[in-house]
Amino acid sequence: MLLICVSIQYLQQAVAVLREVARVLKPGGVAAITFSNRCFPTKAVAIWQALAPPDQCRLVALYLARAGFERVGARQLVDGRRSDPLWAVWGYAPGGGGSEAE
């Protein structure tokens, strides 16, 4: 298993970084990116700050798709009523099966 921690909201070349992730994952391996609504505004890329969380999920899904990942999905994991909200976006590296039941 490969675990990579990345603060997606700070990456200026997110697609290039995710292409490298896809390269090192075995075919069908999963890249999962989680994020909350917390960030350092002076460090986050401008587009991240301009988007609401659902649109941030779509942005990360677009990054993954442009990097070559397949079957990209997104889900809110924590609704934010008791703590910070938390979202996850994932995709499968090209060339593998992968479950359709996410």
Confidence (pLDDT) at 102: 44
Q: What is the pTM of this model?
A: 0.84
- Residue 91: burial class (beta carbons within 10 Å; 0-12, 13-18, 19+): buried
Structure tokens given for 8: 């997606």
Assigned domain for 36 exists: yes
Structure tokens given for 60: 């990360």
Q: How many domains does the chain have?
A: 1
The pLDDT of 84-98, averaged and rounded, is 85
Question: Could you tell me the CATH number of the domain that includes residue 57?
Answer: 3.40.50.150
The pLDDT of 1-14, averaged and rounded, is 78
Residue 6: left (phi > 0), alpha (psi -120 to 50), or beta? beta
Confidence (pLDDT) at 55: 93
Assigned domain for 101 exists: no
Assigned domain for 19 exists: yes
* pLDDT tens-digit series, residues 30-50: 999 998 877 777 888 888 889
Assigned domain for 47 exists: yes
Domain that holds residue 78: 8-92
Assigned domain for 3 exists: no
Residue partners of 49: CB distance under 8 A and separation at least 6: 39, 41
The pLDDT of 17-36, averaged and rounded, is 92
